[in-house]
Structure 1
């Protein structure tokens, strides 16, 4: 049985592990953190990613545990709609809409499907040899011994009997080398593996905006799944299952800016906007608000592979969140990579299938990000008027502009779970 090592246990890395297992690979997933990701944020899973999850046998579980959105669209800061559509229309066009769920819920589903014995936490990858597929590891600083965040699954045994994963010559747990037929680098936007494989690439660039995210209980005001645009500002709110609301916000900002109180910063920027925005911010806990600067690739990598190593997700194609496709594209990557590997094709086929598509989606996201950054009142007015007029002339504009993104289907031979629904 061929062996694969996946570096990183985020959405993309875990999806790759599940997909490769289903394709007949012996898989070990290595994660530097001592716990699985449990950040307080939400995640959009669009029709294209739902089809990919169907091939992993997880699509229906995601649908069951998430909330399907009703009316979707973009508003002005005062609440007036600029463009909108409905979940029913999206389903009619693509066979699925978009569902939202806590990110940690999807991570947990993928980890369960992978199997705890194949997941090793608290292991830091210190080097990768692309020619031989050798991965060097050591215990991550502050790791808690390789248990999942629920503390129920001991992943420390993963790989101990396969390719010697996690044991060096002295038998010290977490130290040593593992040699694999395939190494999947899903180690995030600041991927050390990517930097080592492509040292000449400039890496991620700052988009000009910083982003806040949070989960709050549903307030006593109506919550519609909308994104609201202002002068350089964006606020999104989406109702999740269990009466939770996921919110996110962006603003033009110098990189690395520090705020003493992120909640007060958000209220200062958005407190005068339409409901439920002020209510959501007042219901939030300041210590649970996440903030990070938004980066992306201005130029794509020359390839998503080198030797026995394949790059996946943010390690391969970091993008702005404006299309809600970051995690969706990582899931697509995982399914396509497993399809290519399962057929015994070279990794050049993976690059050929994924590089141009993800580069185009990245460019589209950046163009939308630039539109949201406009601060000049005249430019903002022209932008909003143009969106409203285009939506009146073509009511399906919001969805039809996403045809190439949402209409994607997994490779035919990969569809070994639930048959993806919707038009071909």
Structure 2
């Protein structure tokens, strides 16, 4: 049986473990924190990622329903710019990160071993094995250890790595009673969004331009339209994180017997809501390419061919997402009043054109 070490037990790492397990791999998952689990708030799971999880046997991801009330883009005073129904956009499943993590790890079987509280210090590889800390050996190592990946730094020490986006983010979960379809509100250098989770609570997030490391709170949104102040006030805890993505061009996702996955490979700004979904899709692609080369994985050439195919599929796709997320972030966070007016007008006209086209 082929063996793999997965470094990092976030969404991408545990999905990779399940995907490899279903291909008859023996998997060891290493997690530096003392307990397995996810922190954070809500997450959007788009149809492509939902399909992957369903194929892996993950249950409990209810299909998203169309909100009873309008959703879309608004101005800080509450006026609509464009409604989601006019754009005909896809609707993702909205779920808490911890709940999604639990649903995925529920699929762990005897082939998956988890070692929490394990700190990866050294990684070595040769033509036959990859070794972690001089003691754990496997045929393959999957680096799912996040944007500040130790594995990526080991493989590519000259790579610039994370870059600050220019804005910070606040996130929370509000257990409030709202009759609102949600969406996003775009201001000048600030943005606020919210959506109902499948458990009935509301996930919200706000972003604001400011220097990295500045200590602040979401008070800038106190004067914005209802229900934004109520969502913030109804949150027991508010998370605050500066937003980084990875420098372009991205490094190769494979080197020798090591594959990069998720934020370790392609951390992106959250503007498209595709980061975790991309990690899920990485896991599926990696397992699929390894499966297609199952008969030759015993040789270094067979494994190299599988990982080369994985890199060829996923690096171009995720590079586009990093660029699109970064570009949308620049548009959303602009402080220029003229550009903001033009931006909102273009969204409004675009929504009307899409709506008219849909009625033909």
Report the TM-score, using the length of structure 1 for normalisation: 0.77
Secondary structure of the structure 2 residue equivalent to 1:242: coil
2:103 and 2:163 mapped to 1: Cα distance? 32
Say if 1:223 and 1:237, in contact at 8 Å, map to a contact too.
no
Residue in structure 2 matched with residue 4 of structure 1 by the alignment: 4
Match 1:127 to one of 103, 122, 132: 122
Aligned to 2:245, which of 293, 296, 301? 296
Assess if the C-alpha contact under 8 Å between 2:87 and 2:354 holds in 1.
no
Aligned to 1:47: 47
* Local SS of the residue matching 1:43: strand
Cα distance, 1:204–1:40 mapped onto 2, change above 3 Å = closer
Separation in 2, partners of 1:83, 1:346: 44
Is 1:102 the counterpart of 2:102? The answer is no
Please give the alpha-carbon distance, in whole angstroms, between the structure 1 residues aligned to 2:328 and 2:116: 37
Q: Mind listing any 5+ residue stretches in structure 2 that lack a counterpart?
A: 294-304
Give distance in 1, aligned partners of 2:263 and 2:253.
11
Which residue is equivalent to 2:262? 313
Count of aligned positions: 342
From 295, 310, 313, the equivalent of 1:350 is 310
**Structure 1 residue 128 displacement after superposition:** 1.4
The two structures have a TM-score, normalised by structure 2, of 0.90
Give me the whole-angstrom Cα distance separating, in 1, the residues matched to 2:109 and 2:150. Answer: 26
Give the 3 Å change call, closer, same or farther, for CA 99–88 of structure 1 in structure 2.
farther
CA deviation vs aligned residue, 1:41-91 (integer Å, no higher than 9, x gap): 011001111111122122x52127xx5452542221122222332499556
Counterpart Cα distance in 1 of 2:354 and 2:89: 15
In the TM superposition, 1:226-265 aligns within 5 A as: 226-259=183-216, 265=217
Unaligned 5+ runs, structure 1: 92-96, 138-175, 260-264, 398-424
Once residues 343 and 235 of structure 1 are traced to their aligned partners in structure 2, the CA distance between those partners, rounded to angstroms, is 44
Matched with 2:322 is 362
Compared CA separation, residues 317 and 128, structure 1 to 2 (3 A): same
Deviation at 1:378, TM superposition (A): 1.6
Aligned to 1:74: 73
Match of 2:170 in 1: 212
Once residues 393 and 86 of structure 1 are traced to their aligned partners in structure 2, the CA distance between those partners, rounded to angstroms, is: 12
State how far apart, in whole Å, the 1-side matches of 2:191 and 2:105 are. Answer: 33
1:223 to 172, 180, 191: 180
Matched, 1:322 2:275: no
The reply to whether residue 136 of structure 1 matches residue 87 of structure 2 is no
What's 1:277 paired with? 228
- Return the alpha-carbon distance in structure 1 between the equivalents of residues 287 and 340 of structure 2: 44
**Secondary structure, in 3 states, of the residue corresponding to 2:54?**
helix
